[in-house]
Structures are given as C-alpha cells and as structure tokens.
Amino acid sequence: MGDLPPDLWQSVWLTIELAAITTVVLLVVGTPLAWWLARSKAWWTEAVATVIALPLVLPPTVLGFYLLVTLGPNGPGGLIASLWGGRTLAFTFEGLIVGSVLYSSPFVVQPIRNAFAAIGDRPLEVAATLRASPCRAFWTVAVPQARPGFLTGAVLGFAHTVGEFGLVLMIGGSIPGRTKVLSIAIFDYVEASRWREANILAGGMVIFAFVVILTMTLIEKRSAGGRP
Amino acid sequence: MRFAKSVRLAAGIATWILTSTTLPAAQTNVAVAANFTEVAKEIAAAFKAKTGHEAVLSFGTSGQFYTQITQGAPFQVLLSADDARPKKLVEDGLAVPHSRFTYAIGKLVLWSKTPGLVKGEETLTAASFSKLSICNPVAAPYGAAAIETMKSLKVLEILQPKLVEGATITQAYQFVETGNAELGFVALSQLMGPETGSRWLVPQELYSPIRQDAVLLRSGASNEAATGFIAFLRGPEARAVIERYGYVLDGQS
C-alpha cells in the first residue's frame, strides 16, 4: 500500500475534515432549530421544516446550480469571499462547507427534532415547577433525553457529507487538498481507467457505509430497548 | 366467439409490430466528446433530415466514454476528442479497425468574459488572476492541451495553485461563464456565438494538435444508422459545419 499516490490519502483526509466540520456546524445550528421545530405551535413551522427537508428530494444538481451562481462573484458568496480578498466561494473548502451544511441539514435536524418531540411537555413542566429556568431545563432535561437523536443526527450528517458527489462536482473544481474529496477522486480515477486506486477507495467506502449503517441500527436498538 | 376475437386482436398486434419495425428509419447511440456538443447536434439534425435515421447523442469526456465502452456501454459510434482512445478501442477489439478517421482538429483558446483581461501569453506569465479554469487533463484532451501549453510557456508551476478543473470542457466553460473563474482554457467551437470578453487563440506550436478521431464500435458494425452517421460525418455537408465552428479539417492544416 506504500506505493499509492499521496493524493489518494489527501482526499481521504480532506473528506473526513469536511464531514467533521459540517457535522459540528450542523449540530450547533441545527439544535436550536430542531428545538424550535419541535416546540413551536406556529402555523408556518411545517413550512420551515419542509424547506430544510428539500435536499432529500431535490437532485444535487439543483443545489449545485444555485450554489454555483450564488457563491460566485455576482452573488452573496462573492461578497463574503471579498472579506478576505477572494473572488468567489466556489472552488474553496469554505464553499464546500456551505454546500454540505445545506445538503446534509435534514439528516441532522430531523432526528434531533424527533427526539425533542418525543420528550413531550411533561418533563419540562416538572423541571419548571422545580424552579429550573427554561435554559437550564433545556440543558439538563431535554438534551440528555434526546441523546440518541443527537447521536443519530451526527452519524447521519457525517456519513451523508462523505457520500456527497454531484454538488461537489459542480462547485468544487477538483482541487487536490482543497476540494478534491473522496467521491470526486473515485470519479477521476475511473475516468482515467486507474482501476486499482478506484478499487481501493470504492472498497473503503463500502466498508465505511456498512459500519455506519450497522452502528446506526445498534444505536436505535439500544435506545429503544432502554425505554420502558 | 371469444376465441375468434382474441385471434383477431393478436393478428392486429402482430401486424402493427411488423409494420413498425420495418420502417426505414434506424437509430444509433453516439458518444460525443463535450467540445463537439453544438456541432454534433447540428450534424445529427442534418443527418436526420437527409437520411431519416436518428443519431441519439450523449456528451461527456473521452476518458469517461472510453471506460464506459470497455464495460459494454450501448454506443455504436464514438466521436472522441483525441486519437489515442479510438486507437486503443481498435486494439482492444471493441471498434471496427478501418472505420477510424480524424473528423476535426481542435483549437484551444484562452478566454475570459472580461474585455481586455486576456491579451496573449503575457496574461499567463503575469498571472494576475485568482482562478484559471481547465478541464480534467487526464480524461479530456483539451485539459491535456492546456497543461501542455502552460508547460511550453514555463508557467505551469506558478499557475498550478490557481487551476480549477471541470469534469468536462463544458464545465470548464461554465466556470468562466458564471464568473467563478476569471478565465479558462476552452475549445474554440464553444465561442462561436456573439464575440464577448477577451480571448487568445493559443498558437499551435505550444501544444500538440488535438486530433479528434471518430470510430465505429463493434456493436454498430451492422447498424445502418451508425455506419450511415460515420459516412455522413466524412461528407461535405458535415465538413462544412465542422469548419464553420472553427475546427481545422484533416489534411488542411
């Protein structure tokens, strides 16, 4: 394995980095959002939930097309990039994070929302009668109870970002070390008829996917068994 | 009674199937290198008008098509952007040996949407831009030609960090079109619309000629539409279209 091209490992690390950062961002942004979605009684709650769920249905090319236009110099992405002297967010690692956060959001928000909703009003009312502030009740009652939801969301968000392809192909530009993630590397190897490298990466992905799904199932089984 | 009815129905269906398959028009699936997209569409339309046969076109990189054809993709004709892959397909026994010929010689252009940005090779040596778009140099010959040009000008090392790769030449063009890259190496045929921005036709001595070969694949050997399309591509009508899009014809350069 020592004679493998270094760009192969580079794309593996880049992918892990992208997926990890995306997951953290989604947990930070997604948790309050999921909480609001689970608790809000506003009539437009479901409209917001639907917007978040859109990437489940839309082909990645739709998001890729919009991002290519909005990340560019004529869109808001160009404006953000100009803060550090860049022209566009396309072809940058930051641009990929923006895309991945949008693309993987339903996989993180949905399980956390479901977990929050499953708690119901009762435990929080009890906490309130014990004079816990809403904030304290959130951290000491809701979050610990929703732990399986967080775990599922984090694993799914990470895995889905690793598995993303069409979006990155459209806005990435295949730059080694910055935007050339695993799925793109496999695509390039196959196009170049480099079966050996393609085989190693593709085989690795199969094992990865197997482990992820198995882990998910075990988490769900354990959390279901833990409940009376 | 019922039996007679179903016999009549079956006979009717059989006649319908027979007449519909004996229609003269045939169909062929043609894999076309992305740089040739617009030209191929025009040629296919002319081909249909003249022969009634239909050429169904798929667009992608030559590398992608080569890989797919070795895995049994249902194409009968390949219009590659290079001569190496059609040659390899003949050697692999996947293409009809004497059907291979150069249908066009491609021209590489450095192009920007910004007027005045591209002046000539000094644009590359000055390198005062942030992103230069090319297409995948391994899978697409125009990408390889772009790399060769930068090597000839001894600017590849300086420009390497600024390169962004599209999967096809169409995508390389798109990156410039959407303004995400200031400039890019594209095919002359892609710039045949109204002249916009600034461009530099890369001199031929900076890169090896992009000889674009067509080949009839084994599976198309007995397909009337496929052999007809290859013949049409050699003919004067198709050649006129190819030339109009800025390609050089074989034996003319």
- The whole-model pTM stands at 0.80
Write the single-letter amino acid at A149: G
What DSSP string describes B37-92?
A: HHHHHHHHHHHHHHH--EEEEEEE-HHHHHHHHHTT-S-SEEE-SSSHHHHHHHHT
Inter-residue contact A99 to A19 (CB < 8 Å): no
Strands B183-187, B54-60: pairing is unpaired
Other beta carbons within 10 angstroms of residue B127's beta carbon come to 13
Nearest of B139, B138, B103 to residue B216 by alpha carbon: B103
**For residue range A90-134, what is the model confidence (pLDDT) as tens digits?**
889 999 999 999 999 999 999 999 999 999 888 888 888 988 888
Residue A65 has pLDDT above 80, yes or no: yes
- Model ipTM value: 0.74
Per the prediction, chain B carries an average pLDDT of 90
Taking 3-state DSSP, the helix, strand and coil percentages for chain A, each rounded to the nearest 5, stand at 80, 0, 20
Q: Sorting pLDDT into bands at 50, 70 and 90, what band is B172? A: very high
Contact A191 B138 (CB under 8 A): yes
CATH superfamily placement of domain B2-105+212-244? Periplasmic binding protein-like II (3.40.190.10)
| Residue B252 confidence (pLDDT) | 66
| Among B138, B164, B182, beta carbon nearest to A175 | B164
Do B215 and B86 form a contact (C-beta atoms < 8 A)?
Answer: yes
pLDDT tens, residue by residue, B81-136: 999 999 999 999 999 999 999 999 999 999 999 999 999 999 999 999 999 999 99
Higher pLDDT, A221 or B118: B118
Provide the number of CB pairs (under 8 Å) joining chain A to chain B. 65
What is the CATH topology of the domain spanning A6-226?
Answer: MetI-like fold (1.10.3720)
pLDDT band with cut points at 50, 70 and 90 for residue A86: confident
User: Which CATH superfamily does the domain covering B108-201 fall into?
Assistant: Periplasmic binding protein-like II (3.40.190.10)
The minimum CA-CA distance between A168 and chain B, rounded to whole Å, is: 11
Q: Find the CB nearest A173 among B67, B164, B179.
A: B164
Among chain A residues, the shortest Cα distance to B172 is held by A173
pLDDT digits (tens, 9 = 90+) for A17-56: 999 999 999 999 999 999 999 999 898 999 999 999 999 9
Work out the average pLDDT over B179-197: 90
What token pair was written down for B7? 């016999």
Structural domain boundaries in chain B? 2-105+212-244, 108-201
pLDDT of B22 strictly over 50: no
Q: In this structure, what token pair is assigned to residue B16?
A: 């319908």
Q: Which residue of B has its CA nearest to A72?
A: B180
pLDDT attached to residue B71: 86
* Chain B interface mutation, best of A91, A165, A170, A178, highest count of B Cβ atoms under 10 Å: A91
How far is B84 from chain A, CA to nearest CA, in Å?
13
Q: Cα distance from B195 to chain A (closest Cα, Å)?
A: 21
- Above pLDDT 70, what percent of chain B? 90
Q: Is A87 within 8 Å of B131 when comparing Cβ atoms?
A: yes
Radius of gyration over every alpha carbon of chain B, rounded to an integer in angstroms = 22
Nearest CA in chain A to B164: A173
